[in-house]
Amino acid sequence: MPEPILNIAGLDAHYGDFQALYGLDMTVNDGEVLAIIGANGAGKSTLMRSISGLMYNDPGQISFNGQDISGLRADQVAAMGLALVPEGRQLFPSLSVEENLIIGARVGRKGPWSLSEVYKLFPILKERRNQQSTSLSGGQQQMVAIGRALMANPDLILFDEISLGLAPIIIKDIYEALPGIVGGGMSAVIVEQDITKALSVSSRVYCLQEGRVSLEGASNAVSREDISRAYFGIK
Amino acid sequence: MEWLNALLQGALLGGLYALFAAGLSLIFGIMRLVNIAHGDLIVLAAYLGLTATVATGVHPLIALVLVAPLMAGIGYALQRGILNQTLGDDLLPPLLVTFGLSVIIQNSLLEVYSADPQKLDAGVLETASIPLGPLSVGVLPLLTFVVAVAVIAGLQWTFYRTSLGRAFRAVSDNQDIAQLMGLNRRHVFGLAMALALAVTAVAGILLGVRTSFDPSIGGGRLIFGFEAVIIGGLGNLWGTLAGGVILGVAQTVGAKIDPGWQLLSGHLAFLLILAIRPNGLFPRVS
Amino acid sequence: MNAQDFTVTRSSYAARMAAIIGCVAVIILIAAPWWAARADMRLMGEMFLYLALASLWNLMAGYAGLVSVGQQAFVGFGGYMLFALTIFGGLHPIFAIGLAAVFGAIVSIPVGALIFRLRGAYFAIGTWVVAEVFRLGFAQIPALGGGSGSSLPVGIVKSLAGSRQSREWLSYWLALGAALVVVAIVYIFLRSRQGLALTAIRDNELAAGSLGIEIWRTKFVVYVVTSAMTAMIGALIFLQKLRISPDAAFSVNDWTAFVIFIVVIGGIGTIEGPIIGTLVFFALRETLADLGTIYLLVLGVVAIVVMLKAPKGVWGLIRTRFDLQLFPLGHRVVRSANQNGG
């Protein structure tokens, strides 16, 4: 059994006195697409922030490609090949669309993704390349955010609630592009509130509830009932 | 004619004030930090220029080659060593720490150089002038203005056309997400301060050849730079040049009316603009 | 356990003890002319005036979030008002001091309206510009000595009190009185509804705004009151110095740098802080001042270190360690003495 690309063991996370994650255990296997679902406040975004290095964690709780990244800064984690498409897009308003994409490549990692490849994936962005990034529609901004993460040629890409605030048809388009994104052997974690979408693209799923894992299984094997119970914390 | 000359002198003086302001504006734009010690750093640069010229015998403007990198290094160390710790939502720490820094720099300069006024000797440049129609323009003021324009153009170019500038803008927009791009914000802020102090070095040397200086004049230079920024409008470097020119003209015109009114007219012009156009003349939405 | 077992109170044992000790201390200080040497009385007078200035700066910066590096504008203004009103207005000095406060308030209104257009650090520098304008402006007035300043005429000095000794005693009591008045006003203000609003603003401007508190107005009132009282202290200061000049009146070092140092070291945003800070500052001054610039360097370094490592100052450290509040501002819940209610 090959090493998982991401291994989380006993992860705790706190905001001041408030504990958001309680001893979380989780793995992401190399090349797989993993879904993480859960209600608001379940700890999904906290998990993303911890993994990507935006939040401080005690040593020994997160390892990526075999290395302990728990205490590393976000820029150090990024350099190792882990990219995050943050919740709410969070593009740089002072940068144009193209500059947002270019800055994604700053970590300097080699790989299949380049500016021209991203424009092939999302042609509309090429049309709008010199526009101020925040003047785009929500769906287009999401494309920029995804493209920006891809430009880093990561080994593992994290999608944090990419369907939030988008119209259903846009969400459909983006999810249709997803296999093309992760097809090249990239591992992915998709955090979603839209359970159907999450299950449709992933091979395995975790459900978080109040900072703990309440369900783990194959995406095509978990029942609606199991998910409801795990989602809302009904025993 | 005298008035035309005053206008011209004032406009050229504006170039020097724009140089005072450029570093201030850059740092505020990138990290929302207002450095109260900024004026004292300008004076520090002038003193470093003095030591450089005395030690090596070169012309002050050539001494820039030594002083600018030195100031840049000081800026990087200052930012990473002290100022990075003050950044955050609370407005008091950066203000009070840079105020303390101002006191330290002033008194260190007093200790090392004494309170005697000093001046950098630019030789022939100081008295040379070029005829411009009925007026004659001093070479040094003209050179200062040209340098100011060049520095601002250079900063704009850096900001909008280089990867360093992209990094500055990204970190200024959103520190967290910039980190996700592999940018170490502490390092980026250090580079920003290094760049700002390199500009400050230019300002200091040009100040030093123009007038005599002593450790106590830092506060006044900070105020001129600040006034130029506010008059011109926040977030706009070319606006800062305009602000400097307006300030310079106000001062020289005031001096024409009465020599004792020079500084006061500048401040009054500033307050007037603050009253009628609080966002400055050419603000950029920030 | 029910609600009757608890009461809400402001004071604590420590606060009550401190109040008692404080009263005794004040009585002792009032009696100083009978036990202290002349030089000591002058020193204490200076300390009281700095305490007053520091408490006022602290009210503005620590509570209202208005950091000013230009309070010297009003110190100098008050000083010049004293000279102008006594020399040209023929007013008694003490009356002139009171009037200086009134004029300080009046002047601070248009000044405030102007610089309140600036935010944060730019506001701070704006206050400095105003101080410069005052300095340059007063230097233009020949009747008040222009750039080199003037001395308070002997007649006016004598009108304060007949003998030199009684003048010194009066100066001392005025300084002590001013310090007590300022600290009392700050304390009472912070206990009031406005004061609560101020603390709310300090802690979270966004949240305070959503509660409908008029942020701008409260801060403006604080600015005007602080400036007025600062002018009053300025008048007192120059009554003691007997001589005024633009550079002395509007000195950044004397009236801003030292004051900031006192507040930062003592503990910004607390009433006890300036008291401690004044003691520390003068202790340092009496021991180090011979060293001139080195002394100022040390001050600067200490201020930076405190700001970075112990931002709440000496009093902040004590307060967190011992959960102490000598000037009771907050409310606390304590068990009632009477368990049966009634």
| B116 interfaces chain C, CB cutoff of 8 Å | no
Chain B hits for C137, Cβ within 8 Å? 264
Q: What is the distance in angstroms between the Cα of A27 and the nearest Cα belonging to chain B?
A: 22
Tokens linked to B76? 């990087």
pLDDT at res. C209: 60
pLDDT at res. C203: 67
Question: Is there contact between C and B if contact means ≥3 C-beta pairs under 8 Å?
Answer: yes
Q: Is the pLDDT of residue A33 over 70?
A: yes
Chain C hits for B104, Cβ within 8 Å? 297, 300-301, 304
Chain C hits for B94, Cβ within 8 Å? 121
Alpha-carbon gap, residue B35 to B26, rounded angstroms: 11
Q: B250 vs B59, B157, B256, B262, CA distance in Å?
A: 32, 30, 10, 8
pLDDT digits (tens, 9 = 90+) for C134-177: 999 999 998 888 888 889 888 888 887 778 888 888 889 999 99
The CB density around residue A5, as the number of other CB atoms within 10 Å, is: 23
* Average pLDDT, rounded, for chain B: 92
Closest of C250, C244, C249, C246 to residue C151, by C-alpha: C244
Whether B35 and B27 have beta carbons less than 8 Å apart is answered as yes
Q: Is the pLDDT of residue B286 over 60?
A: no
Closest of A142, A143, A151 to residue A107, by C-alpha: A151
| B111 interfaces chain C, CB cutoff of 8 Å | yes
Chain C hits for B96, Cβ within 8 Å? 67, 260, 264, 303, 307
Whether A157 and A187 have beta carbons less than 8 Å apart is answered as yes
Burial string for C219-236 (b: 16+ CB within 10 Å, else e) reads bbbbbbbbbbbbbbbbbb
Q: Which of A74, A75, A92 is the closest to B173 by Cβ? A: A92
Tokens linked to C205? 């401007």
Tokens linked to C52? 């007053």
pLDDT at res. C28: 87
Strand order in the sheet with A67-68: A18-28, A6-15, A62-64, A67-68
Q: Is the pLDDT of residue C342 over 50?
A: no
Alpha-carbon gap, residue C267 to C269, rounded angstroms: 6
| B32 interfaces chain A, CB cutoff of 8 Å | no
pLDDT at res. A227: 84
Chain B hits for C141, Cβ within 8 Å? none
Alpha-carbon gap, residue B82 to B75, rounded angstroms: 10
Collect all residues with Cβ–Cβ distance below 8 Å to C265 and sequence separation of at least 6. Answer: C276, C277, C280, C281, C302, C303, C306, C313, C314
pLDDT digits (tens, 9 = 90+) for B6-50: 899 999 999 999 999 999 999 988 988 889 999 999 999 999 999
Whether A5 and A65 have beta carbons less than 8 Å apart is answered as yes
| C300 interfaces chain B, CB cutoff of 8 Å | yes
Q: Which of B100, B110, B260 is the closest to C307 by Cβ? A: B100
Closest of A89, A104, A228 to residue A162, by C-alpha: A89
Alpha-carbon gap, residue A128 to C233, rounded angstroms: 63
Give the amino acid at A132. Answer: Q
A-to-B residue pairs, Cβ atoms closer than 8 angstroms: 62
Select the highest-mean-pLDDT range: A218-222, C193-197, C220-224, C332-336. Answer: C220-224
Residue A106 and residue B177: Cβ atoms within 8 Å? no
Residue B167 and residue A102: Cβ atoms within 8 Å? no
Q: What is the distance in angstroms between the Cα of A187 and the nearest Cα belonging to chain B?
A: 18
User: Phi and psi (nearest 5°) for C60?
Assistant: -70, -50
pLDDT digits (tens, 9 = 90+) for B211-264: 999 999 999 999 999 999 999 988 889 999 999 999 999 999 999 998 889 999
Nearest chain B Cα to A153, which residue? B181
Alpha-carbon gap, residue A19 to A165, rounded angstroms: 27
Tokens linked to C62? 């620590």
Alpha-carbon gap, residue A191 to A39, rounded angstroms: 11
C309 class by beta-carbon count within 10 Å (0-12 exposed, 13-18 middle, 19+ buried):
exposed
Give chains near B: 3+ CB pairs under 8 A. Answer: A, C
* C335 vs A10, residue with greater confidence: A10
Q: Specify the 3-state DSSP secondary structure of B164.
A: helix
C325: enclosing H helix or E strand: none
Q: Which of B167, B172, B179 is the closest to A74 by Cβ? A: B179
Residue B166 and residue A95: Cβ atoms within 8 Å? yes
Whether B166 and A103 have beta carbons less than 8 Å apart is answered as yes
pLDDT at res. C337: 59
Alpha-carbon gap, residue A68 to B103, rounded angstroms: 45
Whether A135 and A88 have beta carbons less than 8 Å apart is answered as no
Chain B, window 253-282: residues with a beta carbon less than 8 angstroms from a chain C beta carbon: 260-261, 263-264, 267-268, 270-271, 274-275, 278
Q: What is the distance in angstroms between the Cα of B20 and the nearest Cα belonging to chain C?
A: 15
pLDDT at res. B91: 78
Q: What is the distance in angstroms between the Cα of B246 and the nearest Cα belonging to chain A?
A: 29
| C267 interfaces chain B, CB cutoff of 8 Å | no
Which of B80, B92, B227 would best serve as a mutation to test chain C binding (most C beta carbons within 10 A)?
Answer: B92
* A136 vs C18, residue with greater confidence: A136
pLDDT at res. A175: 87
Pairing of strands C6-9, A33-38: unpaired
Question: Is there contact between A and C if contact means ≥3 C-beta pairs under 8 Å?
Answer: no
Identify the weakest region by mean pLDDT among A23-32, A62-71, C191-200, C228-237.
Answer: C191-200
Alpha-carbon gap, residue C265 to C267, rounded angstroms: 6
Collect all residues with Cβ–Cβ distance below 8 Å to B164 and sequence separation of at least 6. Answer: B158, B191
pLDDT digits (tens, 9 = 90+) for A60-109: 899 999 899 998 999 999 999 999 999 988 999 999 999 999 999 999 89
Q: What is the distance in angstroms between the Cα of A99 and the nearest Cα belonging to chain B?
A: 7
Residue B176 and residue A54: Cβ atoms within 8 Å? yes
Tokens linked to A228? 């409801």
Give chains near C: 3+ CB pairs under 8 A. Answer: B
Whether A33 and A203 have beta carbons less than 8 Å apart is answered as yes
Residue B167 and residue A86: Cβ atoms within 8 Å? no
In a 13 Å sphere around the CA of C330, the CA atoms on its Cβ side amount to: 10
Q: Is the pLDDT of residue B101 over 50?
A: yes
Res. C133 pLDDT band, cuts 50 70 90:
very high
pLDDT at res. A96: 95
Compute the radius of gyration of chain B from its Cα atoms.
19
Helix-helix angle C272-288:C258-266, to 10 degrees: 120
| A80 interfaces chain B, CB cutoff of 8 Å | no
Residue B34 and residue C121: Cβ atoms within 8 Å? yes
Closest of B249, B252, B230, B232 to residue B240, by C-alpha: B232
DSSP B118: B
User: Phi and psi (nearest 5°) for B59?
Assistant: -65, 145
User: Phi and psi (nearest 5°) for C161?
Assistant: -165, 155
| A216 interfaces chain B, CB cutoff of 8 Å | no
Identify the weakest region by mean pLDDT among B94-103, C98-107, C285-294.
Answer: C285-294
Nearest chain C Cα to B98, which residue? C304
Residue C69 and residue B275: Cβ atoms within 8 Å? no
Alpha-carbon gap, residue A225 to A223, rounded angstroms: 5
Residue A78 and residue B172: Cβ atoms within 8 Å? no
ipTM, 2 dp: 0.89
Tokens linked to B277? 């156009």
pLDDT digits (tens, 9 = 90+) for C62-96: 888 889 999 999 999 999 999 999 999 888 888 99
Closest of C199, C205, C238 to residue C222, by C-alpha: C199
Whether B214 and B97 have beta carbons less than 8 Å apart is answered as no
pLDDT digits (tens, 9 = 90+) for B168-213: 999 999 999 999 999 999 999 999 999 999 999 999 999 999 999 9
Res. C339 pLDDT band, cuts 50 70 90:
very low
Collect all residues with Cβ–Cβ distance below 8 Å to A77 and sequence separation of at least 6. Answer: A51, A52, A53, A64, A69
CA dihedral C261, C265, C267, C273 (to 10 degrees): -80
Q: C155 vs C148, C151, C158, C230, CA distance in Å?
A: 21, 11, 5, 26
Q: B229 vs A153, B226, B243, C35, C260, CA distance in Å?
A: 42, 5, 6, 56, 26
Chain B, window 174-233: residues with a beta carbon less than 8 angstroms from a chain A beta carbon: 174, 176-185
| B112 interfaces chain C, CB cutoff of 8 Å | no
Residue A75 and residue B183: Cβ atoms within 8 Å? yes
pLDDT digits (tens, 9 = 90+) for C38-54: 888 899 999 999 999 99
B-to-C residue pairs, Cβ atoms closer than 8 angstroms: 115
Closest of B99, B163, C293, C311 to residue A98, by C-alpha: B163
Q: Is the pLDDT of residue B66 over 80?
A: yes
Which pTM was predicted? Answer: 0.89
| B46 interfaces chain C, CB cutoff of 8 Å | no
Chain A hits for B185, Cβ within 8 Å? 75
* Average pLDDT, rounded, for chain A: 89
Residue C140 and residue B227: Cβ atoms within 8 Å? no
Tokens linked to C141? 């007035």
| B170 interfaces chain A, CB cutoff of 8 Å | yes
Q: What is the DSSP string of chain A?
A: -PPPSEEEEEEEEEETTEEEEEEEEEEE-TT-EEEEEE-TTSSHHHHHHHHHTSS---TTSEEETTEE-TT--HHHHHHTTEEEE-TT----TTSBHHHHHHHHGGG---SS--HHHHHHHSHHHHHTTTSBGGGS-HHHHHHHHHHHHHTT--SEEEEESTTTT--HHHHHHHHHHHHHHHTTS-EEEEEES-HHHHHHH-SEEEEEETTEEEEEEETTT--HHHHHHHHHT--
Give the amino acid at C78. Answer: G
Q: Is the pLDDT of residue C341 over 50?
A: no
* C106 vs C323, residue with greater confidence: C106
Whether C140 and B110 have beta carbons less than 8 Å apart is answered as no
